Structure 1
Amino acid sequence: MINKKIKLSVSSKLITLILITSILSPLGLTGLANTPPQNPTITYTAFLPLVTRNGNFPKVMGVETTWIEQALIDKANAVDAYWWRYSTFSWKAIEPNDVDPAQYNWSAVNNYHLSLATSNDFNIVAVVKTAPDFAQKIAGAPCGPIKDDAATIAEFQEFLTALAIRYSAPPYNIRTWQFGNEPDVSLVSIGQPQWATIPFGCWGDALDTNYYGGEYYGKFLQIFSETIKSVNPSAQVTNGGLLLSCHPVYDANCPNGNFFEGMIKYLSENNGLDALDYASFHSYTGWFGGLGQDVKFAEASPHPGVLLGKSYFLREVMSTYGINPVKPLLVTEGGLMCLRRDPPDTLPLPSGGKCSDQLPPPEFSNHQADYLVWMYVRAIADGISGVMWYTLNPATYRHVGLLYTDFSPKPAYIAYQFMSSQIGNAQYVGTLDQYIPTLQAYEFSKGSMRIWVLWAPDQLDHAINIPAGFQAAYDKLGAAINLAPGATTITINSPVYLILN
């Protein structure tokens, strides 16, 4: 294992994160296809190449939804999202019984809307999870590990082959596959009554004091990837997004933090590193009235914070095992959760709103828009390949969604649209170190324009001199900031875009 004396970075330690992904709808409950089950012996030989939206290099912008429909496709198009994560395939739902010849229930997949999304050039990150009863290592736990015996592995490979043959081909054209969801969570942390329905985990093994089940998962990740790629060599595979609820260096009680290292160790020792095209993790910040939890998390670390701390940690582990260059990173779930306690446990918010209300407090909605800009701009600067905001669709639980229940946009969605219009096709230049650490400040270029994005991590007002070449200023929602004639300074707090020539 990595020497615990080495000071790495900080990953998130949000206790409530175990609860977040429980809002994922069970696979297949919404928008089931109208098409009947089809014979799994149909084969395809032609696969479309991986393309990017509008012919550009793959963008960081992405979303996750718990279902797919035309209205969500329209909303995703409006923010020019490239990545679209979706819990697409349940082995348990598609092949509930072990019979010979195999019988697959493809109607358990949202086939029509899946094809509709891919026809709009979204890169679907297709999650494959939940083992059928006959393949479960731990009975009653479809989220958990698969049995490690020759017969079960053969069944797994047979299923994956049929899956890849069908869904790598038109009209689905799936190119990016993800094995599981938050596999570093263990069944010990989940009550047994929830084992059958929990949408995340559960490959973590509390009895494995070295790597928490990471090596075992790594073996099946290699099987998963090699089987998919035997059908479509151009496929890209990523691990299930890691919860990373703690850091094994900065938290004395964090055995689950070694899961990723176990996975990498297995792949490294078994000629399996080519099985992993992206390393995926999840990144959430809790809102308790402000955004301080993100920037203050584990301040003692040289690389603190939820998003950047985790990315540093994963890269450090990969570097330790000689992976050079390290695998690119994906944030397959990220966002802000409304976690502030209701009065009388806390003082009332000025608006009177509460996190438990059907609608989010206005203060939260304002900060959610701030945080969306924080997350994406920093991810671009950090070289993260994609961030999928959880969720695009309405989600009242913790108010994580970007849309209200009537599909009208929240401020965060409007901020997403404007951000994408400004920097989605821009070239990242670098940080503006003259403003750091008081401000976070980043420069992009687009044609003859320079675009600065600045905000105050302490969420207080800070005045800066108007830079040379100033043309215009916009707030996070795209509203013009009108400066007084002769003004020489501009105030920065919430994200601001400065347009310079």
Structure 2
Amino acid sequence: KPAKFLEGILLGGGGPYFDGVSFHTYDVYWGALGQYKMPNWNTAWDTTGPTVIAKAGFVKSVLTAYGFSGKFLMNTETAILCRSCSNDAIYETTKAYYVAQAYAAALAQGLRANVWYSVLGWQNSGLLNSDLSSRPAYTAFQFARSELRDATFVREITEYDHVKGYEFNRGDRRIWLLWSLDGASHPINLPGVPLAIYHVDGMPVPPVGSLTVTLEPLYLEWSP
């Protein structure tokens, strides 16, 4: 589509005749653990996080400029891609990290849907292998769903330098997701001891009042 396809619809008076906007976002693996970029959107693992944040923000800004801010948004294709990464364990781990980041970011942006493309994948984006066995990203996908299902976005967590984070309310729990935005390890002091802490694959971490945040996203559960 042309770069200003959506704006053209709005300029042409089409705003009242659609309910929502579907778009696609991808990031490209950048050859090291946890690293990805999308140069077309000036987004990267160590500056913005997943491209869905920038693209959703852009679509919202166009809709708002023409007085149609109430439209719903759906990201109907998303993934991290690597054409040459077949059987690359570091890429597969990065993909699992990316699943947690991208789904939390989509929820924070208020998207109605965020659809991984696809189960078997293209350019090694798959959640499953060709024999339908699970890749690490599928386990991360399952756990993200269990943690964030029915959750609502509360806020971005900004109190820790070089750490990206989101807080959600699931009703029975408040959920934090934290990861290092610059790749360094960051010791942080939490406001208390969480009820539980989990890796992206759902493996538990002993709850503590201070922890070190790395490239791997961590889920923290708190009392509501």
TM category (shorter chain) comes to 0.7 to 0.9
Q: Is it true that 1:321 corresponds to 2:66 in the alignment?
A: yes
1:488 to 1:424, Cα distance in 2 relative to 1, 3 A = closer
Q: Which residue of 2 aligns with 1:492?
A: 213
Distance 2:80 2:103 in 1: 13
Aligned to 2:195, the other structure's residue is in SS state strand
Identity %: 30
Q: Which residue identity lines up with residue 165 of structure 2 in the other structure?
A: A
- TM-fit CA distance, 1:295: 9.6
Aligned to 1:293, the other structure's residue is in SS state strand
CA contact (8 A) 1:338 1:398 kept: yes
- TM-fit CA distance, 1:296: 10
Q: Deviations over 1:114-137 (max 9, x none)?
A: xxxxxxxxxxxxxxxxxxxxxxxx
Distance 2:137 2:49 in 1: 24
Aligned to 2:4, the other structure's residue is in SS state helix
Q: Is it true that 1:367 corresponds to 2:94 in the alignment?
A: yes
Distance 1:363 1:497 in 2: 21
Distance 1:295 1:468 in 2: 39
Q: Which residue of 2 aligns with 1:219?
A: none
Distance 1:337 1:454 in 2: 23
Q: Which residue identity lines up with residue 490 of structure 1 in the other structure?
A: L
Distance 1:283 1:373 in 2: 15
CA contact (8 A) 1:295 1:304 kept: no
Q: Which residue of 2 aligns with 1:81?
A: none
- TM-fit CA distance, 1:275: 2.6
Q: Is it true that 1:434 corresponds to 2:159 in the alignment?
A: yes
Q: Deviations over 1:358-381 (max 9, x none)?
A: x43001100001111111101111
CA contact (8 A) 1:427 1:445 kept: yes
Q: Which residue identity lines up with residue 87 of structure 2 in the other structure?
A: P
Q: Which residue of 2 aligns with 1:410?
A: 135
Q: Which residue of 1 aligns with 2:4?
A: 258
1:294 to 1:499, Cα distance in 2 relative to 1, 3 A = farther
Distance 2:98 2:41 in 1: 15
Q: CA RMSD in A?
A: 2.5
1:327 to 1:314, Cα distance in 2 relative to 1, 3 A = same
CA contact (8 A) 1:329 1:384 kept: yes
Q: Which residue of 2 aligns with 1:477?
A: 201
CA contact (8 A) 2:50 2:102 kept: no
Aligned to 2:138, the other structure's residue is in SS state helix
Distance 1:305 1:416 in 2: 16
Distance 1:259 1:274 in 2: 16
More helix by share: 1
Q: Deviations over 1:451-498 (max 9, x none)?
A: 211111223321111431422211000001136xxx652111211011
- TM-fit CA distance, 1:294: 5.1
- TM-fit CA distance, 1:426: 2.3
How many residue pairs get aligned? The number is 217
Superposed, 1:100-499 pairs within 5 Å as 184=1, 256-266=2-12, 268=13, 272-290=14-32, 291-293=35-37, 297-298=41-42, 306-323=51-68, 325-339=69-83, 355=85, 359-392=86-119, 394-395=120-121, 397-435=122-160, 438-482=162-206, 488-493=209-214, 494-499=216-221
Q: Deviations over 1:147-201 (max 9, x none)?
A: xxxxxxxxxxxxxxxxxxxxxxxxxxxxxxxxxxxxx0xxxxxxxxxxxxxxxxx
Distance 1:466 1:306 in 2: 28
Q: Which residue identity lines up with residue 9 of structure 2 in the other structure?
A: M
Distance 1:466 1:391 in 2: 36
Q: Deviations over 1:435-459 (max 9, x none)?
A: 2x51111112233422211111223
CA contact (8 A) 1:329 1:386 kept: yes
1:381 to 1:295, Cα distance in 2 relative to 1, 3 A = farther
TM-score w.r.t. length of structure 2: 0.86
Segments of structure 1 that go 5 or more residues without pairing to the other structure are: 1-183, 185-255, 340-353
Q: Deviations over 1:374-396 (max 9, x none)?
A: 1110111111111111002x23x
- TM-fit CA distance, 1:434: 0.7
1:499 to 1:259, Cα distance in 2 relative to 1, 3 A = same
1:438 to 1:403, Cα distance in 2 relative to 1, 3 A = same
CA contact (8 A) 1:295 1:457 kept: no
- TM-fit CA distance, 1:335: 0.6
- TM-fit CA distance, 1:279: 0.7
CA contact (8 A) 1:426 1:445 kept: yes
- Whichever of the two has the greater Rg, that structure is 1
Distance 2:58 2:118 in 1: 25
Q: Which residue identity lines up with residue 285 of structure 1 in the other structure?
A: D
Distance 1:458 1:418 in 2: 24
- TM-fit CA distance, 1:421: 0.7
